[in-house]
Amino acid sequence: MSPQFKANATPTEEDGKSLSAELISNLILNSPVAQALALIGDRWAFLIIRDIYQGARQFEELRRLSGAARGTLTSRLKRLVENGILYRNPYRDAPVRYEYRLTDKGLGLYPVVLNVWEWETKWGEGEHIPLQLTHSTCGKSMHPIYRCRHCHAKARIEEFRFRAGQDRSPGKKVPPRFQRRSKSRSSVGADVDQRFFHYLDVIGDRWTSLVLAAAFFGLQRYDQILEAIGIATNILSDRLKLLVDAGVLVKLQYQDKPARYEYHLTDKGRDLYVPTLAMHEWGNRWLIRDKERSMVLHHQLCGKNFESEIVCSECDGLVASSNVVYGSADAD
């Protein structure tokens, strides 16, 4: 059975005009999401943040949970500290030892972590599906609901429109560095926590995340995507195949002789918009200096600029890192 999809439900510009390839290209490469991914989209950085949210603080524990090599972990921690996401806190003198904690900027990533958690719960594979979350406010096992703060509707890709921001001149296009995908699944140790691996396998390098961004902006044809993100054809073909194999895109023929294909988001792919939205909000708040010129997301259902909140599926109360317990309330 082929995956389900709904075509033409991707965001368009607020006034309904279609967007030029140049503008889309500019939006994708300079978006708050692209900037956020440059800091946290790296597989190891993302796993470190996952583990710190679950209470890990110290180097050896982070190493065991992520399976990262010592040097890799050292360099990623250093970068996260330099970028103001973590800080080092001395917990022992002579010799001094440090643990890692989240700054306010790092704590702002909680909606991203929760939305990835929820996405993996729904779409992850087998034993790597995350633990149930418990909302300590109501004491029940729950799903986090990421919704519009103004109208309380659950965030769904079809209901977003965006305004491109005031500055429509081509920005500085910085093509992402090519990164080899790390195929970690086959070589992980027994202690390694594999939660989020499916998500990271899907978005796990910058080219893939740019292809996905193009899909979120409504680009469906190979040539459009190629033009928008300036990617080598062999890499684009590889990443499209990867996203099709992961069930995030579905390939549909729209023309014979020569055969031409479009790539549409499946339901699984459309659900990936939710963690991406959370990344957009975080990037906009913490990384974008000139907010006037940044892309604005409108929630079409209520007509307001999108601002999110996360509530508990069971009691409708607000969910925050301080009132979530990792594990099921129903288990012994």
Residues that bind Zn ion (CB under 5 A): 135, 138, 148, 150-151, 299, 301-302, 312, 314-315, 317
CA atoms of 71 and 101, how far apart (whole Å): 19
118 or 205: CB nearest Zn ion: 118
151 or 232: CB nearest Zn ion: 151
Cβ at position 277, least distance to Zn ion in Å: 12
Give the helix ranges, DSSP H, for the chain. Answer: 21-30, 32-40, 43-53, 59-66, 70-82, 104-107, 110-123, 197-203, 206-216, 222-229, 233-245, 267-271, 273-286
Cβ at position 124, least distance to Zn ion in Å: 23
Cβ at position 301, least distance to Zn ion in Å: 5
Closest C-alpha among 41, 116, 123, 127 to residue 85: 41
Cβ at position 118, least distance to Zn ion in Å: 14
Query: Crossing angle of helices 110-123/273-286, nearest 10°?
Result: 170
162 or 263: CB nearest Zn ion: 162
Cβ at position 321, least distance to Zn ion in Å: 14
Residue keyed to tokens 């997301």: 297
97 or 152: CB nearest Zn ion: 152
Asked if residue 319 lies in contact with residue 311, where contact means CB atoms within 8 angstroms, the answer is yes
45 or 148: CB nearest Zn ion: 148
Cβ at position 1, least distance to Zn ion in Å: 34
238 or 314: CB nearest Zn ion: 314
CA atoms of 71 and 326, how far apart (whole Å): 29
At 163, list the tokens.
């305004």
Cβ partners under 8 Å of residue 281, min gap 6: 32, 111, 306, 307, 308
